[in-house]
Structure 1
Amino acid sequence: MSTPPPAVTARPLPIRLRDRVVVPPAPRDTSVITGFSARTPERIIVEVPDPVSGRPTPLAVWHHAVDASARAAPADGPPGGGRDGEHRTPVVAVHGFRGDHHGLALLADCLPGLEMFLPELPGFGHSPAFPDAPHTVAHYVTALGSAVEALGLMTGTSAGRRAASPPGGRTRPTLLGHSFGSVIAAQLAAADPDRWAGLVLLNPICEPALTADDSTAKVLMSRIAAGYYEVSAALPERLGSALLSSPLVVWITGTVMAKTTDRHTLAYLHDQHQNYFSAYDHRQVLVEAYRASTTGSVLDVAERLRLPVLLVAGADDELGSVRGQKKLARRIGRASPLARLEILDGVGHLIHYERAPQAADLIRSFSAETGAL
């Protein structure tokens, strides 16, 4: 497999004290962060059944086609991949809690040779809330599975039988999830591992929120977050919704989680949070999704992940300790033909913003080692 040239990014701009208080404007050209041109996705709307009532509901999926400039050298494809981008493995990437497809845009930019599908979970972004079902992990898994089927990325399989290649010259897709999306992606992969070429988990949720590490500060942060959502749920609708979407709270969240030393990246992630962190359908969706995000972890299905798995975690992640990530990798390794854990220093829970090029390089390496992509 050919290796893409290293990304050329602008020299990092040091963060000044005032940048942490008054965030500078986000860069219009994100190549100063990634070294890659921004890709423009197409929005696809598929209908999926409500997991409780079966009523059809629309779900938005953002499709990144393979860049024309990447077709000549299938650097992001598997060994033996077809010419002109044929027979490449598509990637289905699931965003995290309070996110939408924008959160994974930098990663998509860094993988121009891959076809990517970024679904927006029901109740977030351009996907309306479920009409009848509560927003739980199990219901998200059901809806996402239906969406992947509707996109024609799957053919029927049963457990233990290798999936046939989907139509259109594609091979089986790879599944990717970030943060809360890692829990959803892991459960979907565990339900039928043979349907997927591989599983990539960025900032995987490796332990329930209130047991993250033995750090008092981390446990305290988790309890403050839980209290914030429960208080917001108990307040009158207008007041509770205002608290949940408060720009000040969103800024505090980004400030606490950011570890970057680059001014461009800091400005970008704050801009993303302010613009899209509150792009949810209504208060009940957010409260239900928060409860879902704190009551489970990838560990719940670790020993059912019988497919190659790449875990990419931050050494300073507030939502998962290094010890917890190593435990998760060991548990996955009991079933997986390959469970590879990469711990990135100097970053926390925002790998998809702060280390997108590095995460993309790890995905390419995983591809070369396993043929998963």
Structure 2
Amino acid sequence: MIVREPRVPSPYRSRLAASDVSEHVVDVGGSSTRYWIYETPDAEEARVTIVAVHGFRGDHHGLEPVVAHLVGVRVVMPDLPGFGDSSPLTGEHTVAAYARWLTAFVAALGLGDDVVVLGHSFGSIVTSAALADGLRASRLVLVNPIAAPALRGPRGVVTRLAVLYYWAGAALPERAGLAALQSALVTRFTSLAMVKTRDRGLRRWIHDQHDAYFSRFADRRVVLDAFRASVSSDVSSYAARVDVPTLLIAADRDDITALPAQHELRALFPDATLDVIDGVGHLIHYEKPREAAAAVEAFVR
């Protein structure tokens, strides 16, 4: 695991400082799962708890800008097993395995059936699969949901290149393969491909976030497992079996899932609302966290 602390101060740090943050650990599914609890302003009065699941190759830091803009909720945010400070699961890191882990995680913390579950990107697949397979929750929020197979997205060619990249990472000898998967050049290329804002300061901070957290995975096996899981499934496979009110927060410029696919996904859920944020791509949580938080607050209340 490569660990480098961020060098660019967060533009949302003063807002996040208004929350009380505590760090914890629990053993679930063979993983020593590290998680953080954020008590946002007026959280005790609202008594709403959100369990938030980050995307592929990230960790809990990615969703902190959204948390920074929330008021009146309690947020529980783990690092996915094998990423950040959480150790890997026992066995392969499939969508089904992550879904079982999430169900067990919520149970281990005794959060109850009234918890709100939120997933971003790959986390949208994990959370949807968990609810479809029996995780009890009051509501589901999906930010930048993966609405269709990644190879069918607006940049399907880029996704195919990613498949080749991860194939090479698996085929090379251990040290060379790991170095390729942790390449700073590839991380920057990926970041440049996703960022949409023209704000230079915000762009610099986003790139620094990816530099700091994109390679914090336990080993080569974990990241290859998770990549296969991320491109072999999508939320549409689980939507019909999610029986709670669901909010989709999508972007009009998302290169992973085109907006028409988000409308199609909304129709697959028994009870879903689609909120589209303009002028942003797959990084809603970095570029438009205030708008995302406003949509979440209105939905959970």
Output the TM-score relative to the length of structure 1. Answer: 0.76
- For 1:305, the equivalent position in structure 2 comes to 242
Offset, 1:312: 0.7
- For 1:21, the equivalent position in structure 2 comes to none
1:186-216: CA deviations, max 9, x gaps? 11122236x212100000000111112xx4x
1:39-76: CA deviations, max 9, x gaps? 452111111134xxxxxx3111111123xxx32xx6xx
Change (3 A) 1:36 1:101: closer
Q: Which moved more, 1:309-318 or 1:264-273?
A: 264-273
Contact 1:203-1:313 at 8 Å conserved across structures: yes
Correspondence 1:43 to 2:23: yes
Cα separation, 2, equivalents of 1:29 and 1:208: 33
- For 2:212, the equivalent position in structure 1 comes to 275
Contact 2:12-2:68 at 8 Å conserved across structures: no
- For 1:117, the equivalent position in structure 2 comes to 76
1:238-263: CA deviations, max 9, x gaps? 11111111111111111111001222
Matching residue's letter, 2:103: G
Question: 3-state SS of the aligned residue for 1:42?
Answer: strand
Contact 1:94-1:118 at 8 Å conserved across structures: yes
- For 2:158, the equivalent position in structure 1 comes to 221
Offset, 1:29: 5.0
Correspondence 1:358 to 2:291: yes
- For 1:288, the equivalent position in structure 2 comes to 225
Change (3 A) 1:149 1:345: same
- For 1:185, the equivalent position in structure 2 comes to 127
Correspondence 1:62 to 2:20: no
Cα separation, 2, equivalents of 1:111 and 1:87: 12
Contact 1:257-1:348 at 8 Å conserved across structures: yes
Question: 3-state SS of the aligned residue for 1:41?
Answer: strand
Matching residue's letter, 1:26: V
Question: 3-state SS of the aligned residue for 2:299?
Answer: helix
Offset, 1:129: 1.1
Correspondence 1:204 to 2:145: yes
Matching residue's letter, 1:350: L
1:1-55: CA deviations, max 9, x gaps? xxxxxxxxxxxxxxxxxxxxxxxx62355258xx6646452111111134xxxxx
In the alignment, structure 1 segments of 5+ residues that lack a partner are: 1-24, 51-56, 75-84, 155-162, 164-171
Question: 3-state SS of the aligned residue for 1:260?
Answer: coil
Matching residue's letter, 1:233: A
Please give the root-mean-square deviation of Cα atoms over the aligned residues, in Å: 1.8
What does 1:1-373 align with in structure 2 at a 5 Å threshold? 26-28=8-10, 30-31=12-13, 37=17, 39=19, 41-50=21-30, 57-66=31-40, 70-71=41-42, 85-86=44-45, 88-130=47-89, 132-154=90-112, 163=113, 172-192=114-134, 195-212=136-153, 215=154, 218-332=155-269, 335-336=270-271, 339-367=272-300, 371=301
Radius of gyration: which is bigger?
A: 1
Offset, 1:234: 0.4
Percent identity over the alignment is: 40
Contact 2:46-2:72 at 8 Å conserved across structures: no
Question: 3-state SS of the aligned residue for 1:346?
Answer: coil
Matching residue's letter, 2:108: A
Deviating beyond 4 angstroms after TM superposition, the runs of 4 or more aligned structure 1 residues are 35-38
Cα separation, 2, equivalents of 1:300 and 1:264: 38
Offset, 1:344: 1.6
- Count how many residue pairs are aligned between Structure 1 and Structure 2: 296
Question: 3-state SS of the aligned residue for 2:8?
Answer: coil
Question: 3-state SS of the aligned residue for 1:205?
Answer: coil
Question: 3-state SS of the aligned residue for 2:238?
Answer: helix
In the alignment, structure 2 segments of 5+ residues that lack a partner are: 1-6
